[in-house]
């Protein structure tokens, strides 16, 4: 009963949110007409006008396959000591090279000692052998043992220089960002803090003299804003975005895009609950909108399907928005983790309503649909956690396969009709 009361209060008191009896709801500067509510009675923001996925994973969930797409491996660990967990992709193009970073761990996901690897390429087909961009921040420990670990966030530019931004976790309730330059000659600068941290905060071992660079921090934060970027953990960045949805669902891995009506922040619903003794999830992307006061509205459920994974969006010069992820949940509010297959690209003409969706990579294409991980590692299987860039009228998407291998898919922008 207490939880129900909390949800009702959160719904009624959400700032800059009003609902009318004619099935319209105003979220900050936007007004939507909705036709459905969740089982908890929360209005669902309509944003998906494309076909819904089917449960037929062997045939790309019913979506048309982009036959022009080409797939390449960035890295495949050959032995457990290389790290069986590879995930949290981040892709960028700078100084005539593609730059890729990702999290790597020897024995489990997000366990103590998780580091960041880096590779680069001139053509996105052949990649350099990965090197440590950020070494293990502390001892490598088994699951359940407490210690520091890292996760890749974004790339950023300041004064024409390229910086890798990563998050430090395992410090208790407060995570924080660190960064370092990746120079044109392939060398790395000294890591520095992007925010002040408590004197009691645990600091990575490779930062013997941790320093906060306020000038660079300001420039990197401004670059995020100027390029419509938010951190995947934006609710830790003091931008007024809550880590909880309007219905108290746990939000995770935020991403932003600019529609013709203004900014949108999409979030992954990371929460689960029990119904009829079964653990279920919404399998929806949530969305937050500008509140008109410099902040963000509460995150509301949308009808954009999601396999309980991470997504990313990019705006094209012609105003269209591409959404890459695993938009493959064929039903809402009673699903849980699904295989991340296929990897999809959805298209929105205006950044509000998504009207088309394609399979970027499907296991049915290349025989990997049911393939077993080569090394002891993590599930779920499939092609997940993409990072997308648009360069020279080509779409480049970096992602992990089975959370084990790193791969990239390249497809002409013209293939997205």
Q: What is the C-alpha separation between 252 and 234, in angstroms, rounded? A: 9
Long-range contacts at 343-347 (CB < 8 A, ≥ 24 apart): 343/382, 343/383, 343/384, 343/386, 343/397, 343/399, 343/409, 344/61, 344/63, 345/66, 345/395, 345/397, 345/416, 346/50, 346/304, 346/322, 347/50, 347/320, 347/321, 347/322, 347/323, 347/416
Contact of 413 with 360, CB cutoff 8 Å: no
Query: What tokens were used for 210?
Result: 């941790």
Q: Kindly report the average pLDDT of the chain as a whole number.
A: 89
Q: What is the C-alpha separation between 112 and 116, in angstroms, rounded? A: 13
Per-domain boundaries in the chain? 2-415
pLDDT digits (tens, 9 = 90+) for 369-411: 445 566 655 666 899 999 999 999 999 999 999 899 999 999 9
Q: What is the C-alpha separation between 257 and 229, in angstroms, rounded? A: 8
The partner residues of 72 in beta bridges, in order of sequence, read 408
Contact of 406 with 415, CB cutoff 8 Å: no
Question: What residues have CB less than 8 Å from 399, skipping those under 6 apart?
Answer: 89, 343, 383, 384, 385, 386, 387, 406, 407, 408, 409
Q: Is 121 exposed, middle or buried (0-12, 13-18, 19+ CB in 10 A)?
A: middle
Q: Is the pLDDT of residue 348 over 50?
A: yes
Length of the chain measured in residues:
417
pLDDT digits (tens, 9 = 90+) for 204-247: 999 988 899 899 999 999 999 999 999 988 877 778 898 899 99
Cis amide bond preceding 342, omega within 30: yes
pLDDT digits (tens, 9 = 90+) for 67-90: 999 999 999 998 888 998 999 999
SS (H, E, C) 147-210: CCEEEEEEEEEECCEEEEEEEEECCCCCCEEEEEEECCCCCECCCEECCCCCCCCCCCCCCCCC
pLDDT band at 199 (very low <50, low <70, confident <90, very high): confident
Average pLDDT, integer, range 257-272: 91
The partner residues of 274 in beta bridges, in order of sequence, read 279
Which of 191-200, 204-213, 256-265 shows the highest mean pLDDT? 256-265
Q: What is the C-alpha separation between 88 and 385, in angstroms, rounded? A: 6
> With pLDDT > 70 as the criterion, what percentage of the chain qualifies?
90
Q: What is the C-alpha separation between 106 and 85, in angstroms, rounded? A: 6
pLDDT at 8: 46
User: Over the range 321-339, which residues count as b (16 or more CB within 10 Å of their CB) and which as e?
Assistant: bbbbbbbbbbebbebeebb
Q: Which fold has domain 2-415?
A: Neuraminidase (2.120.10)
pLDDT at 405: 93
Question: What residues have CB less than 8 Å from 146, skipping those under 6 apart?
Answer: 112, 170
Tell which residue, 135, 106, 104, 132, has the closest CA to residue 118. 132
pLDDT digits (tens, 9 = 90+) for 115-168: 999 999 999 999 999 999 999 999 999 888 999 999 999 999 999 999 999 999
Q: What is the C-alpha separation between 178 and 193, in angstroms, rounded? A: 5
Give the global pTM. Answer: 0.92
Q: What is the C-alpha separation between 316 and 393, in angstroms, rounded? A: 10
Contact of 83 with 373, CB cutoff 8 Å: no
């Amino acid at each position: 009963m207490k939880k129900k009361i909390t949800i009702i209060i959160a719904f009624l008191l959400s700032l800059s949110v009003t609902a009318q009896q004619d099935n319209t709801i105003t979220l900050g500067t936007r007004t939507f007409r909705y036709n459905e509510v969740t089982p908890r009675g929360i209005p669902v923001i309509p944003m998906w006008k494309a076909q819904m996925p089917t449960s037929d994973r062997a045939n790309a969930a019913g979506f048309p396959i982009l036959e022009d797409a080409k797939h390449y491996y960035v890295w495949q660990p050959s032995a457990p000591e290389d790290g069986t967990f590879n995930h949290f992709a981040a892709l960028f193009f700078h100084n005539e090279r593609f730059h890729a970073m990702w999290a790597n761990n020897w024995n489990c996901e997000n366990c103590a000692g998780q580091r960041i690897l880096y590779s680069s390429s001139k053509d996105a087909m052949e990649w350099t052998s990965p090197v440590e961009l950020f070494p293990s921040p502390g001892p490598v420990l088994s699951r359940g043992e407490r210690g520091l670990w890292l996760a890749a966030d974004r790339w950023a530019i300041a004064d024409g220089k390229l910086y890798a931004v990563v998050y430090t976790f395992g410090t208790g309730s407060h995570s924080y960002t660190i960064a370092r330059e990746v120079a044109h000659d392939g060398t790395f600068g000294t890591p520095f803090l992007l925010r002040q941290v408590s004197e009691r905060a645990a600091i990575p071992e490779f930062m013997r003299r941790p320093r906060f660079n306020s000038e660079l921090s300001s420039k990197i934060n401004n670059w995020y804003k100027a390029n419509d970027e938010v951190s995947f953990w934006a609710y830790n960045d003091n931008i007024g975005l809550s880590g909880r949805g309007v219905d108290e669902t746990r939000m995770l891995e935020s991403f932003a895009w600019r529609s013709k009506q203004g900014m949108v922040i999409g979030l992954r619903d990371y929460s689960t609950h029990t119904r009829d003794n079964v653990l279920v999830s919404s399998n929806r992307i949530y969305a937050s909108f500008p509140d008109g006061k410099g902040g963000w509205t509460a995150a509301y459920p949308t009808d954009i399907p999601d396999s309980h994974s991470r997504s990313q969006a990019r705006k094209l010069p012609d105003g269209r928005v591409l959404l890459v992820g695993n938009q493959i949940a064929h039903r809402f509010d009673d699903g849980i983790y699904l295989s991340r297959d296929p990897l999809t690209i959805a298209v929105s003409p205006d950044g509000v309503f998504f009207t088309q969706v394609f399979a970027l990579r499907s296991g049915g294409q290349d025989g990997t649909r049911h393939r077993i991980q080569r090394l002891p590692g993590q599930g779920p299987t499939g092609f997940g956690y993409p990072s997308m860039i648009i360069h020279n009228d080509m779409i480049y998407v970096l992602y992990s396969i089975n959370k084990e291998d790193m791969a990239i898919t390249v497809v002409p922008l013209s293939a997205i009709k």
